[in-house]
Amino acid sequence: MLGAAELVQPEKQRSTLGIYIDILESVRELGNAKPTHILYKANLSHDRLTKYLDELVGKGLIAVKLDGDSRYYVMTPSGVQFLIEIRKAEAFVSGFGIAL
């Protein structure tokens, strides 16, 4: 006999979209976010964080700000809009048992 946990969608590894969301949420919460702080908040290794940050900058969802030797990341208006769309999508898909 199958249990409820076996019949509904099993827990999956964090998807690329899930990682994007975690990074964007971290940047939004931190404001001017240092890579180290994002790394802790998004729970990523340094190499993976660098890769995903570059991708998000390339997509125009976050921007890099340089202040002397320090490097900060900030949300762009597209990034804010993307997070709103993602939250709507999350609320919608959760109704059908899908996790982002």
Positions that interact with another protein (CB under 8 A): 4-5, 7-9, 17, 80, 83-98, 100
Q: How far is the CB of 3 from another protein (least distance, A)?
A: 9
> Please, what is the minimum distance in Å from the beta carbon of residue 27 to another protein?
13
Q: Which is nearer to another protein, 6 or 69 (CB)?
A: 6
Least distance between another protein and beta carbon 54 (Å): 20
HEC per residue, 1-70: CCCHHHHCCCCCCCCHHHHHHHHHHHHHHHCCECHHHHHHHHCCCHHHHHHHHHHHHHCCCEEEEEECCE
Per-residue DSSP letter, 76? -
Cβ-based nearer residue to another protein, 58 or 97: 97
